[in-house]
Amino acid sequence: MRLNVYLQKAGAGSRREAERLVADGRVSVNGIKATPIMPVEEGDTVLIDGRPVAPETKPLPRLFLLNKPVDVLVTHRDHKNRKTIFDLPALNPPQWTSRHPRVMNVGRLDVNSEGLLVLSSDGPLAQAMMNPDNALSRLYRVRVRGQLNPAGIEAIAQGIAIDGVDYRGAEFVEEYGQDGRANRWYRCVLTEGKNREIRKLFGHFGCVVNRLVRLQYGPFTLGGIEPGEIREAPSSQVKALMDELAKKGAKL
């Protein structure tokens, strides 16, 4: 395989980051200074800064759980200079980079949504978590103006097309004890997570979402994490998730 792919599989970072390591002269293959497209075969010795690396010795990826506040974008940069998650004190260098790896977001929450956002140090793991074929469930608590009737809830459960977009079946359950209120709370479980999916599903039935909080993504829960706070997921949970994804055929 190509060296940049090998280095990515060995946990050196993205392919672009691997290519930078090679360009900086920090990588050798069998004692020879490496080039970006140099092939690597089984049994070859690959060193970064004199340290051997291989896919089978790749360190366990790290996952972090952030309670995203409202009015914060999930992106590295915004051309309008609006606040992003990487402007939050918990993720703002140098405090973050001095102790933690570079991370990427697993999926998104729109600017008006809040709650659990998972961040990954590993690209393939992030992609596997987002892949709808792996059907990781996402649990949300949603406040809406209006009310879904039983037929609407059943239609959502069976899967529905809106404006030419097919939405996989999802579970929407109204919370009890809300009689007479204009705003109602629902528990919503998705396994696909298309762009603004919950808002579009409610809007299709005449309801307006005015608060959306993600409580869970796969095995990870928001728990007592405060808005703007971040915690690292236990390595045992990460390993269990990777084993589950591997059984589903994910390439990690």
User: Catalytic site residue 110?
Assistant: yes
- Let me know: does 64 contact 119? Beta carbons within 8 Å: yes
Amino acid identity for residue 97 in this structure: T
| Four-point Cα dihedral 110, 113, 118, 120, nearest 10 | 20
Q: Is 119 left (phi over 0), alpha (psi -120 to 50) or beta?
A: beta
245: which residues sit within 8 A by CB, 6+ positions away? 125, 128, 129, 134, 252
Catalytic residue chosen out of the listed positions 44, 110, 163, 243 = 110
Please give the backbone phi and psi of residue 230, each rounded to the nearest 5 degrees, phi first.
Answer: -130, 145
Q: What pairing do the DSSP bridges indicate for beta strands 208-217 and 114-120?
A: parallel
Point out the residues that are catalytic.
Answer: 110
